[in-house]
Chain A
Amino acid sequence: MLKNYFKIAIAVLKRRRFFTFISLFGISFTLTILMVGTAFLDKVISPDYPDYKRARSLYVTTMELKNSKEGWLNRSDVSFYFLDHYVSTLKNVEMMAISSNARTSNAYVNNQKIVIEYKYTNADYWKVLEYAFSEGKPYTQQQIDNAEQVAVISEQTKKEYFGDAPTVVGKYISADNINYRVIGVVGNVAKTLLSFAGDLYLPYTIAKDDYNKPGLMGGFNAVLLAKSKADVPKLKKEFDQMMKKVPLPDKEFDEVYCHADYFFTSMTRRIAGDGKNTGMSVVVGLLSIFVFLFLLLPTINLVNINITRILERSSEIGVRKAFGASSKTLVYQFIVENLILTFLGGVIGLCLSVLVIYWYNDIEPIENVYLKLNFTVLFYSFIACLFFGLLSGVYPAWRMSKLNVVKALKAQ
């Protein structure tokens, strides 16, 4: 029976080529956007270089101080003091990667300005995160304690600053009028990973400002690595209990919020949340509404085209009913036919997505963010195809299956 449906579906596609073009264009274009969008989301959300230990990690990114009576608040990154004084005492933390937010400095090489983004880190930063060193090595705790002016640079910075030099370890790089000795070179990090992307990584002890100034708010964030995946909830609980004991910095505020979040939650909290809310439902809700609306327009278009196309086949519907097809069987047939159309559009969409992603990676609109179609992306695209096919096929199929046989036969 499926073979028969397939034959009919292909014949119908060949029959009205303009309708077929409009249908396939709508489906493939929509799916291309969805697939590229999914590839981008996958890049942002899934564990990616150098942050591969997400299953064991919690992220501390935001401190919020609130005056609930007057309804105002202060929100910023957390202080080094807070991380060092409170968080480092937690029993379930195996290691803590601390890094400052990125600061910028201009360097001039051959009369060309290079903008260098630098950040300060601790020694464990290099253990928690799996940076790939193409040469040299990270700075040690000893070098941090000695406040040595050493630096780890990115491949991109190496190329921009030193040109085609085969090795740069031991050479000096200047930022903010300070010369740092390069001790290691690491692979570039995608710009979307704000906490980890940088051109120059420096020991926190050589920061110009007082990094250990008492207070809760500052310019740092941290990745807390639990001993095992199973310990992550315990660590989260321990962190929350610790927060209850953290004293308020002054009388202006009566509430303090800071969380050790899972990676995605840490993102949603930054985008749409606050101290009390993760922002997850807002972000997921908005994304879902966007996808739904984005799918709705081509779906309505496809529903209309499908109704017109199926109406043209009312004689066939009449004949099928006369010879024993029930309404249910006809609904099934039209849905299968529509799924064939959708999957054909899906295959074209997949090919278009490969081209778009190739073009995107070539022009690299966001630094070091390279997209790829992986199994996750293909899986979600498959789901989108299925959803799209069902959404645009069910209503016309149901409507047509209810067609009166005599009227359907007379319609020819």
Chain B
Amino acid sequence: MIRLQNIEKVYRTDTVETLAINGINLQIAKGEFLSIMGPSGCGKSTLLNIMGLLDEPSKGSININDQDVSKFSDQRLAKFRNEKLGFIFQSYHLINDLHVLDNVELPLLYRSSSAKERRQLATAALEKVGLSNRLKHFPTQLSGGQRQRVAIARAIVGNPQIILADEPTGNLDSGMGNEIMEILINLNRNEGTTIVMVTHDENMANKTHRLVRLFDGSQVQ
């Protein structure tokens, strides 16, 4: 499903060159739940961003569903992200000015769906994460765990094949973290969604199918 070949990412300033990712080769199968671990600054999030087509590699190629996405235009990339990928971020990245329901609807705004259809799908996604009673709340009126559940609803509303989660439990206590993890495991098990998760938490990582460890930008496991 996802194939990374010889991926390199170099950050350049006027004086310094930093190699963030160094020749990573990785294949992720359809329906797999993969976690990425490693110390801070080892390139986990960079790798996830490259997989999610949010960042460009300096070298190497990315294939998703047998398509070389490295050469996609901005317009085509946007469409691809919208249809195939869902994102969950550590700090939720909800839009505080919009209701929970509007936040969840956001990915559907960039598709040709009617307002009624969008509303139905967003409500169903929020039901899946147990937040059907918070539709008209603003994100600031919710707890951390609830916010992350809204973010998960937003990630799954468009029914993407792949979910990329960047430390989804990083800002939560263990109880909340476990709840979120449970939702992701169920998604993977019941819907067959491929999930790639960056985490610092060994316990969470152990619940996934496979673990990839990075150190200084290179894959060590």
Chain A interfacial positions (CB closer than 8 Å to B):
1, 3-4, 7-8, 11-12, 15, 315-316, 318-329, 404-406, 409, 412
Note all chain A residues with C-beta closer than 8 A to B49: 405-406
Question: How far does the alpha carbon of A404 sit from the alpha carbon of B81 in the complex, in Å?
Answer: 15
**Nearest B-chain residue to A323, judged by Cβ:** B107
A7, B74: Cβ atoms closer than 8 Å: no
The answer to whether the Cβ of B8 comes within 8 Å of any Cβ in the partner chain is no
Known A-B contacts A3-B115, A4-B102, A4-B109; A322 and B97 likewise in contact (beta carbons under 8 Å): no
A328 to B107, CA, bound (A): 16
> Which candidate, B34-42, B86-94, B196-204, is the interface stretch facing chain A?
B86-94
* A320 lies within 8 A of B106 (CB): yes
Q: Are A412 and B110 in contact (CB under 8 A)?
A: no
Determine the residue in chain B with the shortest Cβ distance to A10: B97
State in angstroms the CA–CA spacing of A96 and B105 once bound together.
71
Q: In the assembly, what is the distance between CA of A409 and CA of B79, in Å?
A: 19
Q: Please tell me if B154 contacts chain A, counting CB pairs below 8 Å.
A: yes
A-chain residues with CB within 8 Å of residue B83 when the two chains form the complex: 324
Query: B110 contacts A323, CB within 8 Å?
Result: yes
Residues of chain B from 81 to 126 with CB closer than 8 A to chain A in the complex: 81-83, 86-87, 89, 91, 93-95, 97-98, 102, 105-107, 109-111, 115
Q: Which chain B residues border A326 with CB–CB below 8 Å?
A: 74-75, 77-79, 110
- Chain A residues whose CB sits within 8 angstroms of the CB of B89 once the complex forms: 409
Q: Does B26 contact A (CB under 8 A)?
A: no
Say whether B110 contacts A329, CB under 8 Å.
yes
Contacts of A319 in B (CB 8 A): 93-95, 106
The answer to whether B78 and A8 have CB atoms under 8 Å apart is no
Any chain A CB within 8 A of the CB of B142? Answer: no
Q: How far is the CA of A12 from the CA of B158 in the complex (A)?
A: 26
Residue from B49, B55, B78, B106 having most chain A Cβ neighbours under 10 A? B78
Closest B residue by C-beta to A1 = B109
- Given contacts A326-B75, A405-B55, A406-B55, whether A7 and B98 have CB atoms under 8 Å apart is yes
Contact of B154 among A3, A12, A323, A405 (CB under 8 A): A323
In the assembled complex, B52 has its CB within 8 A of some CB on chain A? yes
Question: CB-CB < 8 A to B10: which residues of A?
Answer: none
Closest 7 CB pairs of A and B: A324-B82, A11-B97, A326-B78, A324-B110, A323-B107, A405-B54, A319-B93
Contacts of A15 in B (CB 8 A): 97
Known A323-B87, A409-B89: A316·B95 in contact at CB below 8 Å: yes
Q: Chain A binding site: helix, strand, loop or mixed by DSSP? A: helix
Which chain A residue shows the least CB distance to B106? A323
Select the residue from A12, A315, A318, A322 with max chain B CB neighbours within 10 A.
A322
In the complex, chain A residues whose CB is within 8 Å of the CB of B107:
323-324
What would be 27 A-B contacts, judged by CB atoms less than 8 Å apart? Answer: A4-B106, A4-B109, A7-B98, A11-B97, A12-B97, A315-B93, A316-B95, A319-B93, A321-B54, A321-B81, A322-B52, A322-B87, A323-B86, A323-B110, A323-B154, A324-B107, A324-B111, A324-B158, A325-B78, A326-B77, A326-B78, A328-B74, A406-B54, A409-B54, A409-B93, A412-B91, A412-B93
**Cross-interface CB contact of A325 among B52, B55, B110, B158, cutoff 8 Å:** B110
In the complex formed, the residue of A with least CB distance to B115 is A3
Binary contact track B50-81/A, C-beta < 8 Å → 1, others 0:
00101100000000000000000011011101
**Interface contact B93-A318, CB-CB below 8 Å:** yes
Identity of the chain A residue whose Cβ is nearest the Cβ of B109 in the assembled complex: A1
- Distance (whole angstroms) from the CB of B104 to the closest CB of chain A: 11
Q: Which residue of B lies closest to A5 (CB)?
A: B109
CA distance A318 to B87 in the complex (A): 11
Q: How far is the CB of B64 from chain A (nearest CB, A)?
A: 15
Complex interface: chain A residues within 8 A of B95 (CB): 8, 316, 319
Instruction: Contact check, A329 vs B55: say whether CB atoms are below 8 A apart.
Output: no
What's the nearest-Cβ distance from chain A to residue B137, in Å? 15
Pair A324/B102 contact, Cβ less than 8 Å: no
- Tell me the complex Cα distance, A318–B54, Å: 9
User: Do A323 and B91 touch across chains, with their CB atoms under 8 A apart?
Assistant: no
Complexed CA–CA distance, A322 and B164 (Å): 11
Looking at the assembled complex, report how far the CB atom of B150 sits from the nearest CB atom of chain A, in whole angstroms: 12
Distance between Cα atoms of A1 and B115 in the complex (Å):
8
| A contact residues around B97 at 8 Å (CB) | 7-8, 11-12, 15
> Which residue of chain A has its CB nearest to the CB of B157?
A323
Least distance between A400 CB and chain B CB atoms (Å): 14
| B82, closest chain A residue (CB) | A324
Q: Write out the residue numbers on chain B whose beta carbons fall within 8 Å of the beta carbon of A324.
A: 78-79, 81-83, 107, 110-111, 158
Instruction: Report the separation of the CA atoms of residues A181 and B35 in the bound assembly, to the nearest whole angstrom.
Output: 106
Which of A12, A324, A325, A409 is packed against the most chain B CB atoms within 10 Å? A324
In the complex, the chain A residue whose C-beta lies closest to that of B166 is A409
Q: How far is the CA of A4 from the CA of B89 in the complex (A)?
A: 22
Residue of B at shortest CB range from A9?
B97
Chain B neighbourhood of A412, CB < 8 A: 91, 93
CA separation between A88 and B2, bound complex, in Å?
91
Interface residues of B in 152-201 (CB under 8 A from A): 154, 158
Q: How far is the CA of A187 from the CA of B87 in the complex (A)?
A: 74
Report the Cα distance A321→B55, complex, angstroms.
11
What 10 additional pairs, Cβ within 8 angstroms, besides A11-B97, A324-B158? A4-B105, A8-B95, A11-B98, A321-B81, A322-B81, A326-B77, A326-B79, A329-B110, A405-B54, A406-B54
User: In the complex, what residue of chain A is closest to B87 when comparing beta carbons?
Assistant: A322
